[in-house]
């Protein structure tokens, strides 16, 4: 029987790989492999052997050149050892094969700076958006309410009717577009599946600290038109169980945390479409 396999890339400053792998297993993946980027560049591990790619949080390369920019350059231009293949070819083939990619926090920063998101018209290598310094001018570590767009094609947020509650921890989380046309297309095509809101999940907000970074239109997450690629600044892997909730000793909560649904949706998609 073919196994549902997830891969979590680590190295060069990531720090959420164990939590992401655990979330993948809880979500229903048969295997969740943590692979150092050096293992992929050496050819020891290939993305082709997996169905779900996780790009995790952290501080890639110390955020030199801006968050995740050095890694974006590396992945776009580095060759796989002993071959003539560039690593970016594995990424583009992974996408073309109908597989899933989730970037969280630093992973989201990596995806937008590589150009994987929003990926207009299948162009996954042209940067059109960025994530930059928070309006508050300092690192933000807090929990956020995220309003869901039920019209979004995002695979990961299927079944979320109103919204979810997840933590953020970042210094460069302000989402910006390169032009009004880009933002308009994101809005028109419903490519922002999650937005910062109040606890009623009624509407997106620019109000601090509900919107912890000043992101345009309250955008906390972005997907491509297929819904298979998604990035978000809040951390779903950091809330997969009730004991991770800040009020778990004072409120009656479900056993599963809000973030687990994203990984369950990924596993369901893989089993229904890729195995």
Dist CA 44 CA 193 (whole Å): 35
| Catalytic residue check, 235 | yes
Instruction: Evaluate whether 110 touches 68 at the Cβ level (below 8 Å).
Output: yes
Dist CA 137 CA 155 (whole Å): 33
Instruction: Please tell me which residue in 17, 19, 172, 237 is annotated as part of the active site.
Output: 237
Dist CA 160 CA 163 (whole Å): 6
Q: What is the signed CA dihedral for 110, 72, 49, 118, rounded to 10 degrees?
A: 50
Dist CA 60 CA 14 (whole Å): 6
DSSP state of 4: P
Residues facing residue 101 across a β-bridge = 53, 229
| Catalytic residue check, 105 | yes
Instruction: Evaluate whether 2 touches 28 at the Cβ level (below 8 Å).
Output: no
Dist CA 107 CA 53 (whole Å): 11
Distances (CA, A) of 84 to 39, 80, 114, 255: 17, 7, 21, 48
Residue labelled with tokens 């690593």: 87
Instruction: Please tell me which residue in 51, 170, 235, 245 is annotated as part of the active site.
Output: 235
Q: Please, what is the end-to-end C-alpha distance for the chain in angstroms? A: 9
Sign of the torsion angle spanned by Cα atoms 203, 128, 214, 59? positive
Give the CA radius of gyration of the chain: 17
Instruction: Please tell me which residue in 16, 105, 177, 223 is annotated as part of the active site.
Output: 105
If one counts every other C-beta atom within 10 angstroms of the C-beta of residue 69, the result is 19
Q: Which residues are catalytic?
A: 105, 235, 237
């Amino acid at each position: 029987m073919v196994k549902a396999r997830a891969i979590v890339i680590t190295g060069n400053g990531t720090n959420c790989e164990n939590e992401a792998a655990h979330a993948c297993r809880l979500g229903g993946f048969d295997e969740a492999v943590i692979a150092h980027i050096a293992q992929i560049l050496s050819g020891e591990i290939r993305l082709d052997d997996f169905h779900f790619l996780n790009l995790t949080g952290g501080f890639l390369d110390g955020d030199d050149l801006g968050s995740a920019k050095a890694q974006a350059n590396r992945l776009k231009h580095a060759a796989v050892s002993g071959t003539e293949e560039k690593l970016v070819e594995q990424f583009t083939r992974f996408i073309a094969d109908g597989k899933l990619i989730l970037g969280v926090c630093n992973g989201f920063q990596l995806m937008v700076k590589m150009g994987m998101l929003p990926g207009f018209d299948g162009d996954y290598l042209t940067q059109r958006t960025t994530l930059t310094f928070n309006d508050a001018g300092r690192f933000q570590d807090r929990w956020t309410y995220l309003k869901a767009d039920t019209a979004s094609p995002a695979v990961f947020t299927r079944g979320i009717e109103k919204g979810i509650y997840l933590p953020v921890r970042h210094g460069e989380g302000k989402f910006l577009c390169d032009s009004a046309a880009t933002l308009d297309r994101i809005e028109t095509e419903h490519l922002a599946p999650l937005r910062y809101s109040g606890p009623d999940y009624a509407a997106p907000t620019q109000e601090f600290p509900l919107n912890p970074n000043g992101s345009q239109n309250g955008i906390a997450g972005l997907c491509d038109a297929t819904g298979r690629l998604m990035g978000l600044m809040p951390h779903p892997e950091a809330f997969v169980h009730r004991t991770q909730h800040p009020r778990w000793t004072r409120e009656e909560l479900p056993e599963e945390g809000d973030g687990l649904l994203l990984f369950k949706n990924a596993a369901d998609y893989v089993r229904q479409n890729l195995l």
